[in-house]
Amino acid sequence: MDSAQADAYLRRLGAERPARPTLDVLRELQLRHLMTVPFENLSIHLGEKIVLEENRLLEKVVGARRGGFCYELNGVFGALLTALGFDVTLLAARVYGDEGRLGIPYDHLVLRVRARTVDGGDWLVDVGFGAHSHHPLAVGERGEQEDPGGVFRVVEAGAGVGAVGEGVGEGEGDPRDLDVVRDGGRQYWVELRPRVLGDFVAGAWWHSTSPESHFTRSLVCTRVTEDGGRITLSGRSFTVTAPGGEKEVRELGVDSEVLAVYRERFGIELAGVPGVREAGGGG
């Protein structure tokens, strides 16, 4: 990513170019990303090809002012952080599903970020998981990490942490790997070996075509709000979640109302209302 592309990305986030790659800058950029760039899977249902190449992701997120899902959002955000002087490593993760079952290999992409300053440290950064932490999580901290998105812990993979240990066999955790826990429930298993963006192509293809993927079975568009809450448009259901967790759900009627919410609340201009496509023909 060149300087002009990085500046355009920062304008998309409403951020100034930082003087140094500090922890405070990382925290601000992550939160601004979550408030500005929606987590959404609309491309799958609009018949748009998902291409995990930096320039194509910039065209989508910055040029077209769209969002995306994990591979796209964390992939392009990692490129921005690298351009700003952070030390960024792409990591593969597997998401915990029902009864603690793990998803496919390369199920999710997260970032390990080191700020090259005295206050820097080593952090897990994720702007592509929907409802998750608003700020970076300290990789080396094993206690609770308070965050507007919940109470988080980063622990050795498979380690016993109460009820969240269900579904993970004794000794399954690789000492090199970590689990991210939110409010007592395991979210995903992170492999600490470095990856490159091309490693995630198969995972993106599976999630955008398989009938077993939740992305092919539903529509979602969501972002953090300025007050720390969240707005989510799932099909025609529009949910406003307050910072305290209270939810207000409104069913949208005519297409113009749905398109107005995409435009006015998420900054996404669409020619028509997307509908769930049959799995096997998208991505």
Residue with tokens 């040029």: 63
Burial environment of residue 167 by CB neighbours within 10 A (0 to 12, 13 to 18, 19 or more): middle
- The catalytic residue among 33, 45, 70, 107 is 70
- The catalytic residue among 33, 45, 107, 126 is 126
Contacts of 55 (CB under 8 A, 6+ apart): none
70 is catalytic: yes
**Are the CB atoms for 216 and 208 separated by under 8 Å?**
yes
Return d(Cα 132, Cα 246) in angstroms, integer: 17
Question: What number of other Cβ atoms are within 10 A of residue 12's Cβ?
Answer: 19
132 is catalytic: no
Return d(Cα 20, Cα 229) in angstroms, integer: 29
Contacts of 166 (CB under 8 A, 6+ apart): 99, 100
DSSP code for 60: I
- The catalytic residue among 45, 108, 132, 207 is 108
Torsion of CA 272, 274, 280, 282, to 10 degrees: 60
147 is catalytic: no
Return d(Cα 173, Cα 191) in angstroms, integer: 10
**Are the CB atoms for 180 and 192 separated by under 8 Å?**
no
What residues are labeled active site? 70, 108, 126
